[in-house]
């Protein structure tokens, strides 16, 4: 590859890194509740405190973070992971498009449109390093390898695709299930080869079989009971996810990006580019799933929110085709070479400006939040040097309790403990309610209370530099007085 092309790729990669790192310019901690959760779960794996639950279906992601936890402090280094992974994913996309099309500029445009994908805390996205985003490069790879394997009748490619699918199954299973409809339809277009090699393709039964066995082991139930539960859990009716919104399509991609994707689809169909069939079926069937949810309130194979993003990540390739063929059409009507270059430059400049113009426009209610600040970090770090004990802290700070202090909390915003009891404890913050608060402390065997305001309940104050930390072990585990015998 020419040095000038390598420089262009490097320039785009730097731009992607800075764009995705943008929310961390003034904030050095993880941004999403799921990020804090997976830091905590990784450290529990490291400390042999990992508990097998339904969330274990994302254990592959925690296993990826595990070796990193021995090298880095995950809380401090996590801010860089989303940007690094976005660059890596964009490079994978470049490789896939370049291999498929043999066109360097088409692949480079795909990277740029991929970078324009928006993020918010509901639909998630590139700003967060979580399982649903971690699998993006694997999705691009397994779709490409499967399609190439079928098209070329190359079993090696198909087996590589199968291997990647099994990895995705352990990291974020719905990131595999969402693709089953369009891969199935794609296979129907190539049914002659599928039927010819039916014994070989039966190996794909390993995917559902592995999923069922893993589900049975995690839930400690029989195979047949697992089948019925899996069938139920692959349906996502309205209300099943924590935050159900009538999301706009513009929350994930720009209007000009959609317009160019439609143009790309038109040209691929008009020019009969059948080798890109899988990249036409992908957005078509995910869009169908989205519309099904909007009309009937139920989504299949993947939650509506995740499907929105799976739909979005299929579009950069098509948008790149839209730009490429738009420039081709321009060349037919402009004869002078100098004019061709200047008009082409202007078209690309306008497209890029319009593509990224609304990048940071995030709807109210799904904007990025900060669970902790420096003072909360310092407070939890102080607790890290104390003996192990359960912590009672506000729900947002509790989410970071194990990740920083290595201490479990009574309740957190999501995933951990009993949220209701934590709310009850801090809503009773007055001297008149000390009896109720002490009762809760004893009920959950709490050792430390981390509070943002003083609590006048005669507890032992051990820290007051930022927040306040009380040692309440004597409340949770009162020393029993010896019983005096009368003679």
Q: What percent of the chain has a predicted confidence (pLDDT) above 70? A: 86
| Structure confidence at residue 481 as a pLDDT band (50, 70, 90) | very low
In a domain, 344, yes or no: yes
pLDDT attached to residue 417: 67
- Please state the φ and ψ torsions of residue 456, each to the nearest 5 degrees: -90, 80
What does the pLDDT average to over 149-160?
90
Do residue 59 and residue 175 come from a single domain? yes
Q: Is-contact 95 257, C-beta < 8 A?
A: no
Cα gap 130→124, rounded to integer Å:
9
Residue 27: which of 373, 432, 375, 438 has the closest Cα? 373
Cα gap 374→378, rounded to integer Å:
6
Cα gap 173→142, rounded to integer Å:
14
Q: Is-contact 121 366, C-beta < 8 A?
A: yes
Do residue 274 and residue 243 come from a single domain? yes
pLDDT at 209 over 90: no
Look at residues 322, 356, 390 and tell me which one is the last residue of a structural domain: 356
Question: Could you write out the DSSP letters of every residue in 422-474?
Answer: HHHHHHT-SGGGHHHHHHHHHHTTEEEEEESS---S--EEEE-SSSEEEE-HH
| Structure confidence at residue 261 as a pLDDT band (50, 70, 90) | very high
pLDDT at 55 over 70: no
Residues in the chain: 487
* Bridge partner list, 392: 449
Label residue 409 left, alpha or beta by phi (over 0 means left) and psi (-120 to 50 means alpha): beta
pLDDT at 254 over 90: yes
| Structure confidence at residue 212 as a pLDDT band (50, 70, 90) | confident
In a domain, 363, yes or no: no
Do residue 412 and residue 454 come from a single domain? yes
pLDDT attached to residue 130: 93
In a domain, 368, yes or no: no
Cα gap 62→174, rounded to integer Å:
17
What does the pLDDT average to over 116-131?
91
In a domain, 317, yes or no: yes
What does the pLDDT average to over 461-487?
68
pLDDT digits (tens, 9 = 90+) for 37-51: 899 889 988 887 776
pLDDT attached to residue 134: 94
pLDDT attached to residue 410: 83
Cα gap 2→124, rounded to integer Å:
36
pLDDT at 138 over 50: yes
Do residue 14 and residue 115 come from a single domain? yes
pLDDT attached to residue 483: 42
Collapsing DSSP to helix, strand or coil, 229 comes out as helix
pLDDT digits (tens, 9 = 90+) for 366-398: 888 888 898 989 888 888 887 678 888 888 888
Residue 128: which of 252, 229, 23 has the closest Cα? 23
Cα gap 183→145, rounded to integer Å:
12
Q: What percent of the chain has a predicted confidence (pLDDT) above 90? A: 33
pLDDT attached to residue 194: 85
Domain span including residue 222: 3-356
User: How does DSSP classify residue 130?
Assistant: S
Q: Is-contact 140 89, C-beta < 8 A?
A: yes
What does the pLDDT average to over 466-486?
65
pLDDT at 225 over 80: no
Q: Is-contact 391 405, C-beta < 8 A?
A: yes
Look at residues 302, 324, 356 and tell me which one is the last residue of a structural domain: 356
Do residue 338 and residue 418 come from a single domain? no
Please report which helix (H) or strand (E) contains residue 300, including its range.
strand 298-300
382/14: higher pLDDT: 14
Do residue 462 and residue 331 come from a single domain? no
89/334: higher pLDDT: 89
In a domain, 369, yes or no: no
Do residue 146 and residue 226 come from a single domain? yes
- pTM here is 0.87
Do residue 115 and residue 23 come from a single domain? yes
In a domain, 233, yes or no: yes
pLDDT at 57 over 70: no
In a domain, 234, yes or no: yes
In a domain, 485, yes or no: no
Of 72-81, 271-280, 326-335, minimum mean pLDDT range: 326-335
Do residue 422 and residue 348 come from a single domain? no
Do residue 412 and residue 280 come from a single domain? no
**Please, what is the average pLDDT of the chain?**
84
Cα gap 248→195, rounded to integer Å:
41
Do residue 261 and residue 403 come from a single domain? no
pLDDT at 279 over 90: yes
Do residue 186 and residue 288 come from a single domain? yes
349/332: higher pLDDT: 349
pLDDT attached to residue 144: 95
Ranges 33-42, 231-240, 420-429, 448-457, most confident: 33-42
Q: How many domains does the chain have?
A: 2
What does the pLDDT average to over 20-48?
90
* Bridge partner list, 409: 391
pLDDT at 480 over 50: no
pLDDT attached to residue 475: 74
Question: Could you write out the DSSP letters of every residue in 16-83?
Answer: HHHHHHGGGTT--S--SHHHHHHHHHHHHHHTT-----GGGGGHHHHHHHHHHHHHS-HHHHGGGHHH
pLDDT attached to residue 220: 62
| Structure confidence at residue 433 as a pLDDT band (50, 70, 90) | confident
pLDDT attached to residue 24: 93
pLDDT attached to residue 56: 44
pLDDT at 262 over 80: yes
What's CA 118's distance to the chain center, in Å? 13
pLDDT attached to residue 482: 45
Look at residues 307, 323, 356 and tell me which one is the last residue of a structural domain: 356
What does the pLDDT average to over 319-323?
93
What does the pLDDT average to over 220-245?
66
Count Cβ atoms below 10 Å from residue 381 Cβ, excluding itself: 12
Whose tokens are 């869009």? That residue is 287
């Amino acid at each position: 590859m020419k040095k000038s092309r390598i420089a262009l790729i490097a320039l785009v990669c730097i731009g992607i890194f800075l764009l995705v790192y943008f929310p961390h310019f003034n904030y050095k901690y993880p941004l999403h509740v799921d990020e804090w959760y997976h830091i905590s779960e990784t450290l529990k794996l490291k400390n042999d405190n990992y508990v097998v639950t339904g969330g274990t279906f994302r254990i592959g992601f925690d296993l990826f973070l595990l070796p990193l936890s021995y090298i880095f402090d995950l809380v401090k280094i996590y801010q860089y992971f989303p940007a690094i992974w976005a660059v890596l994913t964009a490079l994978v996309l470049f490789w896939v498009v370049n291999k498929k099309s043999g066109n360097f500029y088409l692949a480079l445009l795909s990277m740029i449109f991929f970078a324009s994908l928006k993020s918010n805390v509901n639909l998630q996205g590139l700003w967060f390093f979580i399982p649903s985003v971690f699998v993006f490069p694997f999705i691009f790879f397994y779709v490409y390898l499967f399609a190439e394997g079928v098209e070329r009748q190359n079993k090696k490619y198909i087996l590589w695709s199968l291997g990647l699918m099994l990895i995705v199954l352990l990291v974020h299973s719905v990131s595999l299930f969402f693709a089953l409809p369009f891969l199935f339809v794609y296979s129907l277009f190539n049914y002659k080869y599928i039927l010819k090699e039916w014994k070989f393709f039966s190996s794909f039964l390993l995917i559902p079989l592995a999923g069922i066995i893993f589900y049975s082991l995690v839930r400690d139930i029989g195979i047949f009971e697992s089948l019925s539960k899996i069938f139920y859990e692959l349906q996502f009716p309205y209300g099943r996810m924590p935050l159900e919104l009538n999301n706009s399509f513009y929350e994930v991609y720009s209007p000009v990006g959609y317009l160019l994707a439609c143009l790309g689809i038109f040209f691929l169909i008009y020019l009969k580019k059948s080798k890109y069939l899988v990249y036409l079926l992908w957005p078509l069937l995910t869009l169908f799933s989205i519309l099904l949810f909007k009309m009937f309130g139920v989504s299949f194979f993947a939650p509506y929110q995740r499907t929105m993003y799976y739909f979005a990540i299929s579009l950069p390739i098509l948008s790149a085709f839209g730009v490429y063929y738009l420039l081709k059409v321009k060349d037919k009507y402009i004869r002078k070479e100098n004019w061709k270059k200047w008009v082409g430059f202007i078209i690309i400049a306008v497209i890029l400006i319009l593509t990224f113009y609304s990048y940071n426009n995030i709807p109210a209610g799904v904007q990025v939040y900060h669970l902790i600040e420096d003072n909360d970090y310092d407070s939890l770090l102080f607790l890290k040097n104390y003996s192990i004990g359960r912590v009672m802290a506000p729900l947002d700070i509790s989410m970071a309790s194990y990740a920083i202090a290595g201490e479990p909390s009574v309740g957190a915003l999501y995933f951990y403990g009993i949220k209701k009891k934590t709310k009850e404890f801090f809503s009773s913050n007055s001297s008149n309610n000390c009896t109720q608060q002490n009762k809760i402390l004893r009920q959950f065997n709490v050792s430390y209370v981390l509070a943002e305001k003083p609590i006048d309940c005669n507890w032992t104050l051990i820290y007051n530099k930022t927040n306040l930390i009380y040692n309440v072990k004597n409340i949770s585990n009162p020393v029993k007085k010896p019983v005096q015998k009368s003679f």
